[in-house]
Homo-oligomer: A and B are copies of this chain.
Amino acid sequence: MSDLYWPGDERAGSLMSDLALLQAMEAVESAWLAALVEAGLAPASARHPVRGLVGADDLDALARGAESGGNPVIGLVRLLRDRLGPGEAARWLHRGLTSQDVLDTALVLTLRDVLDELDRQLDAQTQVLLALVQAHRNTAMVGRTLTQHAVPTTFGLKAATWLTGVLDGADLVSSARARLAVQLGGAVGTLAAATELARLQGADDPATTAWRLVTITGGALELAGLAPWHTSRAPITAVGDALVSCTDAWGHLAADVATLARPEIGELAEGRGGGSSTMPGKRNPVLSVLIRRAALAGPPLAATLHLAAATTVNERPDGAWHAEWAALRDLGRRTVVAGSQTSDLLADLRVDPARMRATLDSATGTAAEQQSMADLVGGQPGDSYRGVTHLIVDAVLDRARTSRTKPPSEETR
């Protein structure tokens, strides 16, 4: 999926789409139905894969139906039962679940895909940045503070700060990923219906049997089993904060590129650059612009997730939960798109060391601080003034190599 405003590559675009969510909801129903059978609560004849029964053509009808029920799950269950046809599978589908179980767990599945994709993007960006830092470890440029020339720095150090941001984002993505778990609790988060079924079917310890449904379902979906978190939304806000931390890092990087790509500065350029509808020959730093857009638009969406968490009430709130969906979806998809654009930007970034050198040489006042140090102790200014840049660069390179090294099997997934 893509839209006119937030296009992206094909892979990025399909994540968090309506269709992806629909398929995830179907997968949750399927895994739960299988768990009911596996735990001995539903008869073996209820075992039936629930896959491919609904698709893109059903989205409009489900969407319209979602208004009357408040969410799309009621309509989906009806549709799935209808398409499963008469029999035990249709009878047992969704038994013990509530709408929020299905929607929350399906959202988690789509978020997992988003976080996994981000993890790959951040890995790739780390590799490119490692090379960039090493290549420009000694590329001198003027440092700029509050828009004005300050003292010298190196482009290697600048790239190292970008890399630090990417690694910070990756850490949060990993943490949020590790917290993802099924959210399955039935009507009010007690698994009462599932427990009652277990009792009715003669289980020795009905509660433990009901709990097994959660772990079995989690296993099938490759998610952790966890106590219901229907009213404790920290797993959701952690994802939102991680996503925004990625766009923070990329936004910083893109702001640097857009600024240094100004024709009067000209120290960086995007490899291709975008054209104009009326000015032939104009080359715009389009990727930087689009990344900055995502960085500006993201934080308010993450704030919506926190507001939703903070206004949760009772065993399911009257609006707060519903406000999460679109914020998560938009944030997820846009972050992946911005990540893809950042990878493209880095892969094709043009660095102009000669221009950097020229700016530095012609800048006025950049030696004043150095002179004031010499004055302080009565010595002569030294030849260079790069301070500990190489130590910082080494520390960042070490961190990057340590934290993002994956065993080969991981690399090839």
Contact = CB atoms under 8 A, between A and B. Distances in A.
Contacts of A130: none
A112 B227 CA distance: 32
A153 B189 contact: yes
A197 B3 contact: no
Interface stretch (A116-124, A252-260, A346-354): A252-260
A323 B311 contact: no
A292 B311 CA distance: 8
B187 A279 contact: yes
Interface string A156-196: 01000100110011001000000000000011111111111
B296 A319 contact: yes
9 contacts: A3-B63, A67-B286, A146-B289, A150-B282, A151-B193, A186-B278, A237-B241, A263-B363, A297-B326
Given A2-B60, A280-B369, A275 B74 contact: yes
Interface string A285-316: 11011111101111111111011111111111
A289 to B, nearest CB: 5
Contact of A315 (B65, B144, B286): B144
Interface residues of A, number: 176
Contacts of A244: 237, 306, 310
A265 to B, nearest CB: 5
B248 A147 contact: no
A113 interface: no
B208 A391 contact: yes
Interface stretch (A131-139, A382-390, A402-410): A382-390
A38 interface: no
Contacts of A322: 289-290, 292-293
Contact of A164 (B63, B229, B265): B229
A196 B147 contact: no
A146 B285 contact: yes
Given A5-B326, A196-B382, A278-B186, A312 B255 contact: yes
Interface string A58-80: 01101111111110111001000
A369 B272 contact: no
A210 interface: yes
B147 A259 contact: yes
Most buried by B among A4, A228, A276, A301: A4
Given A64-B7, A146-B316, A196-B373, A153 B188 contact: yes
Contacts of A395: 227
Contacts of A249: 232, 234
Interface in A188-219: 188-197, 199-201, 207-208, 210-211
Given A96-B278, A290-B319, 9 more contacts: A146-B286, A153-B315, A187-B278, A200-B379, A207-B391, A232-B252, A244-B306, A244-B310, A299-B304
A85 interface: no
Contacts of A320: 292-293, 296
A65 to B, nearest CB: 8
Contacts of A210: 387-388
A280 B372 CA distance: 8
Given A196-B385, A263-B363, A391-B208, A148 B293 contact: no
A202 B304 CA distance: 54
A15 to B, nearest CB: 15
A270 to B, nearest CB: 10
Contacts of A326: 5-6, 297, 330, 334
B310 A387 contact: no
Given A252-B310, A308-B296, A396-B227, A150 B188 contact: yes
Given A264-B262, A395-B227, A252 B187 contact: no
Nearest to A293: B322
Nearest to A149: B263
